[in-house]
Structure 1
Amino acid sequence: MILWATVAYDGPRFAGFQRQNDAQTVQGSLEEALLTIYKENITVQGCGRTDSGVHATGQVVSFAVPDHRDRLLPSLNALTPEGLSILNVDPAPSDFHPRFQCIAREYEYLIHRSNLRHPFLEGRVWRNKEAPEASALRSMTPELLGERDFGAFTRPEYLQEPTRRYLDRILVRNQYDRISGQWLLSIRIRGNAFLHNMIRIMVGTMLQLAKEQPGEEGRDILRGILESRDRNRAGPTAPASGLYFRRAYYPADRSFQEAGLCTLSGYPEFRSRK
């Protein structure tokens, strides 16, 4: 049977999601725990291959097991390392694949506009005193919405692959963090899929332009960067510490809804979602 789970993890504790032979990863940790429970190798599939240092609160994974054992959820949490939590384990549709059937993914980037370290924010945000106001960043978002070629926002070696992606939502706002008692700048982005480092380069570029070329000039430059597909024209890559995988969305089919997965209706369908 196929089970699906929501996984949350503290990015700096792992060398990314994908399994590596010589480093602790999210996929590797989950597979080791399943091996201990079921005494056989079980492959874990993930919705998003987050890089080293990137956090998640809503990563969706799946795995095929002989049976859904009692106390599987607490057993998995007991066998996985600190910084990784499995929030639920539930039956999935028989043909479920968390990555290939996902129609949209939502990330959030958090910035602390301060030059002072905070014990409850260190390693969990980008501490950047020079970050512009939310309104300056918000004015740039129309240039990024819709289906566009985001080749300038990834590493050059990935330009041989499809680089067109669709973004339908970019929300920029100030939000109060109750744990730290600090105001954070939040950039929440939803799209059908994302290129390697795309969000971090996008955030770094937006901050640089909003600071150095605010207003219409900055929007014109951003438009030119996208048209160029040239990584060298884009801004710096924002640190991994501020990026969170928040949510995965699936088609509004009855099978996904009954399984408890987050669904979305009327979302455009794309053939290439690598």
Structure 2
Amino acid sequence: MQAPAHRIPHRQALADWQATHFLWEVKGKVATITLNRPEKKNPLTFESYAELGDLFRALAFDTSIKAVVVTGAGGNFCAGGDVFEIIEPLTGRDMPGLLQFTRMTGELVKAMRACPQPIISAIDGICVGAGAIIAMASDLRVGTAKTKVAFLFNKVGLAGCDMGACAILPRIIGQGRASELLYTGRMMGGEEGHAWGFFNRLAAPEAVLAEATALAGEIADGPTFANSITKRMLHMEWTMSVDEAIEAEAMAQAICMDTKDFRRAFEAFAAKTKPVFEGD
């Protein structure tokens, strides 16, 4: 059976929290998750799936962390689910056990999208299977020319509709391009991914983490309450009509206009200075 989730107290200061199945570091307002099994290209296990999902849920309660970077150790991002620690055990499960697993993996994507902090993935080398899903579920992606992304599910006899791929990937790169990747499972190179809009920008392999961290820092220095509203509306408006979206955004913007950051921005403009946002 799947491992139990690693419960993180929702009121715990996550800067002091110690991860078990990956590396976790908080510097200032930016947290970094490093998938850390470089000898196997950083595959996921039942335990790391559960711990990652619980962490992203807990981030909703930590107001000191304003942005999150996800990366992998050793020049690769993530090789997906570990063949011998996940795939092999799944071949022996019954249908209820398989559904338990697929729902658990989907909860990770739900947690990433519900997490109010923008998530930036720094992606070098191999980024396949569930690793490609983590990249897809992030808000922004920084890659390299050497990055190789593949949604490999059909290569192991599965459908491309895994962890929300058929809903999210077409919204990033378009229906036709997403269909090609999901039907063929082929590798998408870094430059192709950038041209298609999967990557927001490319960097040299030795600079990709620094580039993603700098981008996270820039976002973390902005009006972070408003940023969390932007993330929420980007997610919610997928299922809204245009009229519903306009009304929802009217209400969301009115809430933001009631923040101190909105007042700070006006006062800085009036004084011809740069606003210092505090996220409230």
TM-score (norm: length of structure 1): 0.24
Structure with bigger RCO (C-alpha 8 Å, 6+ apart)? 1
Q: Say which structure is richer in strand.
A: 1
Q: Relative to total residues, which structure has the larger helix share, 1 or 2?
A: 2
Normalised by the size of structure 2, how large is the TM-score? Answer: 0.23
